Amino acid sequence: METLIHIEVASIHDTTYSHDILQWVKQELPKVVTFDFDNFSEPSICDYAIDLLKQSRKVGIIIHVKNDQPLGTIRKFIDFVVRKNDAVYFLALQGDQKIIEKMAKPLGQRFHKNADFKLQKELLLSSFNHQSVA
């Protein structure tokens, strides 16, 4: 199973439920399973994301930081990703979040800071063995 996990870090007033990258993946990479959650999600949602990661052969993770907010259950997820990261092909960070940057450092070249929409698409296509974006 190929999976994209999208995480949003935002204030409760800035949280959105539609993300361009998820719409793009559903259209261009229909076999990729998508799952998204945010810093206000219940712990059981984070646990489900970890279960998905365990079941997946290839995983891409995109974290979209809109503003500096507490990470909530996202910390637990990133900690798991870093310690048990065989299936993680990339973690892309869009926006600034020093704690996430520090936690993701052990991923080395699989961690991509300042990942805009174009880079996110390139990472998804190359990770899931599809042609690159022209």
Residue 17 lies in a domain: yes
Determine, yes or no, domain membership for 133.
Answer: no
Q: How confident is the model at residue 91 (pLDDT cuts 50, 70, 90)?
A: very high
- Per the structure block, which two tokens stand in for 123? 């990472």
Q: Give the pLDDT confidence of 97-125 residue by residue, as tens digits.
A: 899 999 999 999 999 999 999 999 999 99
pLDDT digits (tens, 9 = 90+) for 27-73: 999 999 999 998 899 999 999 999 999 999 899 999 999 877 878 88
Give the count of domains, the chain.
Answer: 1
**36, HSE (Cβ side, Cα atoms, 13 Å):** 18
- Residues 57 and 1: their CA atoms lie apart, in Å, by 5
Q: Is 20 contained in some domain?
A: yes
Provide the domain limits for residue 117. 2-127
- pLDDT band of residue 6 (cuts 50, 70, 90) is very high
pTM over 0.85: yes
Pairing of strands 88-94, 111-113: parallel
| Dist. CA 40–CA 76, nearest whole Å | 13
Q: Residue 92 pLDDT > 90, yes or no?
A: yes
Residue 134 resides in a domain: no
So what's the pLDDT on residue 33? 94
CATH, residue 86: 3.40.50.10140
132 lies in a domain? no
Q: Which two tokens stand for residue 76?
A: 């637990």
Cα Dmax for the chain: 39
Helix axes 117-127, 20-28, angle to 10 degrees: 30
Domain assignment of residue 46, yes or no: yes
